[in-house]
Homo-oligomer: A and B are copies of this chain.
Amino acid sequence: MLGRLNHVGVATPSIDDAVARYRDVLGATQIGEAFDLPAQGVRVCFVDTPNSQIELLEPLGPESPIAKFLEKNPLGGQHHVCFEVPDIHAAKAELEGKGVRILGEPRIGAHGTPVIFAHPRDMGGMLTEFMETPREGAH
């Protein structure tokens, strides 16, 4: 089941500043447009590496889960990892069957496919997202 490491979610107080760093310091050339994901309380921007992505996350308002993360880590930092799965409902059932707590129901994630999050306490302290692999031709 362990699919592609789709992305590493990285919290930042400023997507603009982070994008400038990835572009000007780290030499990233494939950087998407930032967009709001109000249902998750975040503004999002994907930076491509040749094999994966960094998902930059900036809080949309003080209630954002990213705002709480930034209170503890003002500079930002690694927030979650995301693995692909072929079927989100099958993955949820399989994980729950193995005692993993899933936070809420599947919802549409930043790539437009359904995602779930597993509780860090059941994942070695690491907030872990699972996303259904985009179909061919999709983003």
Query: Which A residues have a C-beta under 8 Å from some C-beta of B?
Result: 1-5, 8, 10-12, 17-18, 21-22, 24-29, 47, 49-52, 54, 73-78, 80-81, 83, 95, 98, 100, 120-121, 123-126
Nearest residue in B to A10 (C-beta to C-beta)? B126
Say yes or no: A49-B3 contact (C-beta < 8 A), given A78-B81, A98-B24, A100-B25: yes
CB distance from A26 to the nearest CB of B (A): 5
| Given A2-B22, A4-B52, A76-B126, 19 further pairs, Cβ under 8 A | A2-B26, A2-B29, A2-B47, A5-B49, A8-B78, A12-B124, A18-B124, A21-B123, A25-B95, A26-B83, A51-B51, A51-B52, A54-B81, A75-B121, A75-B124, A75-B125, A77-B125, A77-B126, A78-B81
CB distance from A23 to the nearest CB of B (A): 9
A132 to B2 alpha-carbon distance, docked (Å): 26
Say yes or no: A21-B52 contact (C-beta < 8 A), given A8-B81, A78-B78: no
A81 to B10 alpha-carbon distance, docked (Å): 10
Query: What are 16 contact pairs spanning A and B, CB under 8 A?
Result: A1-B26, A2-B27, A2-B47, A2-B49, A3-B49, A5-B8, A8-B78, A10-B124, A21-B123, A51-B51, A54-B81, A75-B124, A76-B125, A76-B126, A77-B124, A77-B126
Nearest residue in B to A14 (C-beta to C-beta)? B124
